[in-house]
Amino acid sequence: MPVLVTIAVALAAVLAAVVIGRAVWLWWKYRGARVITCPENQRPAGITVDAGHVAAHAFSQTPQLRLSACSRWPERAGCGQQCLSQVEAAPEDCLVRNILVHWYAGKRCVSCGQPFGDISLAGAKPAVLPADKVSVEWSQIPADKLEETLAASSPICFACHMGNTLVRTHPELAVDRHRSADLSGR
């Protein structure tokens, strides 16, 4: 009898580990901002899947998708969330961070000319330089405006973005190299 109990406990532990592992994987897979085409108006919309809900239903055979946010809410709240079919079909392709990473592929910084190479999501990320020359970080771009923003912008590296921001916000700290050279040559 104790052997059966031990086996049952071991099986329960294995089952729990499998479900927890699947929950973490589902949460990781469905977290983050996404951009899709709203079926109602055929325009881009920014959405966020409720990754906690998906993870909490890890025991389901198919992911239980629902949204926690949409850029068209609250006007379209209660819409039926038909856009979820696009997330189901290609969950990675509509992730904002993936779209941004692909945008930099093969490009160079518009300011210093450095190639971007592989972009680490854990480290300092490059930025986006729109036509108004005020560089913005990824988090500052609304998902529903991502496509049009990228189409009208240039890629800028993190260092040049920081320099751009410093000159704009603290012009008194910016060094005029030509003037510095003149002064040191006197």
Exposure string of 40-54, with b = 16+ CB inside 10 Å and e = fewer, is: eeeebbbbbbbbebb
Pick one of ligand SF4, Zn ion, none as the site partner of residue 23 (Cβ within 5 to 8 A by kind): none
When asked if residue 111 is in the footprint of Zn ion (CB under 5 A), the reply is: yes
Which residue's CB is nearer to ligand SF4, number 45 or number 160? Answer: 45
- Residues 163 and 169: their CA atoms lie apart, in Å, by 10
Pick one of ligand SF4, Zn ion, none as the site partner of residue 162 (Cβ within 5 to 8 A by kind): none
- Residues 179 and 174: their CA atoms lie apart, in Å, by 12
Provide the minimum distance between the beta carbon of 115 and Zn ion in the complex, in angstroms, as a whole number: 10
Site string for ligand SF4, 16-55 (x = CB under 6 A): ----------------------xxx----x-x--------
- Residues 177 and 165: their CA atoms lie apart, in Å, by 18
Site string for Zn ion, 141-170 (x = CB under 5 A): ----------------x--x----------
Q: Kindly state the number of chain residues that form the binding site for ligand SF4, as judged by CB under 6 A.
A: 13
Site string for ligand SF4, 50-89 (x = CB under 6 A): -----------------x--x-x---x--x-xxx------
Pick one of Zn ion, ligand SF4, none as the site partner of residue 157 (Cβ within 5 to 8 A by kind): Zn ion
Give one word for 106, left, alpha or beta, with left for phi > 0 and alpha for psi -120 to 50. left
Which residue's CB is nearer to ligand SF4, number 91 or number 130? Answer: 91
Residue with tokens 């260092």: 159
Question: Could you tell me the two tokens for 18?
Answer: 């499998």
Is 68 in contact with 88 (CB distance < 8 Å)?
Answer: no
Tell me, what amino acid is at 127? A
Strand partners, 113: none
H or E stretch including 169? helix 158-169
Residues that bind ligand SF4 (CB under 6 A): 38-40, 45, 47, 67, 70, 72, 76, 79, 81-83
